[in-house]
Amino acid sequence: MSELNHLLKRDSEDFQSYHIRLFDNKEEYQIDNHDIAKLLNTEYGSNYDESKWRKDYAQYLKWKDYLVNKNLDEEIIDKYEEIRIESEKEKVRKQDQRREYQKLIREQARIEHVRDEMIKVLHKIMKAKPMQWLERKPLPFADGSEGLLILSDLHFGLFANNYWNKFDNDEFKNRMKKLISKTIEHGKTHNVKKLHLFMIGDLINGLIHQVTRIVNTEDAVSQTMSVSEILAEVITTLANEFDEVKIYNCRGNHDRVTPNKKDEIAKESFNDLIPWYLKTRLADVKNIEFMVNEYDDEIIVAEIAGNTIFGVHGHKDRINTIAQNLIMMTKKFAQYIVMGHYHHHEEKEVHDVEVIINSSFSGVDEYAKDIRATSKAAQKFIVFTKEDKRLCTYNILLN
């Protein structure tokens, strides 16, 4: 009923104003002359034909401008102009609302289409290539060391060929093999039984900038499906080496659906399709667990060896203020915060909270080169214990 309130007479308007408003906004209100006649007759207590009300309005239109322009009372003229402008503003607001709603529908439909296409591909892959998980009985987990592998800024689909970096989909796979091999090696060195995997955004290169679209080797949909399958194989490999694997996920900025940041819908991201794919693909791998973000889709909170650790992509944060902001937002104290986005290694301590920035997996691209911001391609593997907190950090170089 509340949606029809605009069709009813307002307490602040007289009957003539109500009559004029209905005809002035007939198209906006999506009503015809017969609908207006019913509304006016109900309000006036009459039973006139629609022609009566239509002709009255036509007479008003005929004399409106003349009467207003000839009226010597400037206050009345100003009031008329104010009402006219407000009416136009309301019309524009309604149009904007409809446009935004249609945009939302289009973006949601796009995500649903991608999911449908992924389902088709996923069923074929699962039949042709089932995951080889070696089921084994894990040893009882003691209060020992736990590992954290941070995956950020993978930018699958990016192509780079410059003095500092050569990167394409083949190089992506080579670097991932090296990263996983080193993670397993370091994990065994420290007798890690439980591995935590933070996927903290920009797993695909996406389509957010013109230069990004130029240097992409695949479109965002293909990137999403390809990197999901590679990650499924990576997680299976890790599940065969560690007794327990916990998987966390948050969004980045390159994986948003729409290229224009101003049009971004926070709840729609290609990144959201990746854990959905992985859950289906890895359903038979029993020693992995997909963790749910309690506070927000873009904020990971994990307990690792008695340490509370936040994980975010970093595109909405600054290293100098992230500790204060996240702790105040969640009302939860963390000992460590990990983030990506900045494409270089950096650490900072803020009142006993250690902020750790992960390097870029993809390395120096055209944008970084042009702003003179070169850095090493690397990812971090961190070992935690209850006694020593962060025991050590391996910055695994990839190029």
pLDDT tops 60 at residue 258: no
When mean pLDDT is compared across 24-38, 245-259, 319-333, the lowest value belongs to 245-259
Give me Rg for the CA atoms of the chain.
30
What pLDDT was estimated at residue 263? 47
How do residues 177-208 score in pLDDT, each as one tens digit?
A: 999 999 999 999 999 999 999 999 889 876 54
Q: Is 258 helix (H, G, I), strand (E, B) or coil?
A: coil
**pLDDT (average), residues 297-322:** 94
Burial (CB count <10 Å: 0-12, 13-18, 19+), residue 31? middle
CA–CA separation, 374 vs 279, rounded Å? 36
Average pLDDT over the chain, rounded to whole? 83
pLDDT tops 90 at residue 133: no
For CA atoms 94, 96, 99, 104, the dihedral sign is negative
**pLDDT (average), residues 286-298:** 94
How do residues 336-392 score in pLDDT, each as one tens digit?
A: 999 999 989 999 999 899 999 999 999 998 878 888 888 999 999 999 999 999 999
Q: Domain map of the chain by residue range?
A: 2-70, 142-397
What pLDDT was estimated at residue 251? 87
Q: Which residue has the higher pLDDT, 74 or 275?
A: 275
Distance between start and end Cα atoms, the chain = 64
**pLDDT (average), residues 302-329:** 94
What pLDDT was estimated at residue 304? 97
pLDDT tops 50 at residue 1: no
What pLDDT was estimated at residue 208? 47
pLDDT tops 60 at residue 140: no
What pLDDT was estimated at residue 137? 59
pLDDT tops 50 at residue 209: no
The residues near 78 (Cβ < 8 Å, ≥ 6 apart) are none
Instruction: Quickly list DSSP for 6-45.
Output: GGSPPTTS-HHHHHHHHHHTHHHHT--HHHHHHHHHHHHT
Among the listed residues 367, 333, 168, the one whose alpha carbon sits nearest the alpha carbon of residue 254: 367
**pLDDT (average), residues 246-264:** 66
What pLDDT was estimated at residue 218? 53
What pLDDT was estimated at residue 264? 46
How do residues 61-120 score in pLDDT, each as one tens digit?
A: 877 766 666 654 566 566 666 766 776 777 777 776 676 666 656 666 666 666 777 777
Q: Could you tell me which CATH number the domain at 142-397 has?
A: 3.60.21.10
How do residues 6-45 score in pLDDT, each as one tens digit?
A: 888 888 888 888 899 999 998 888 899 999 999 999 888 8
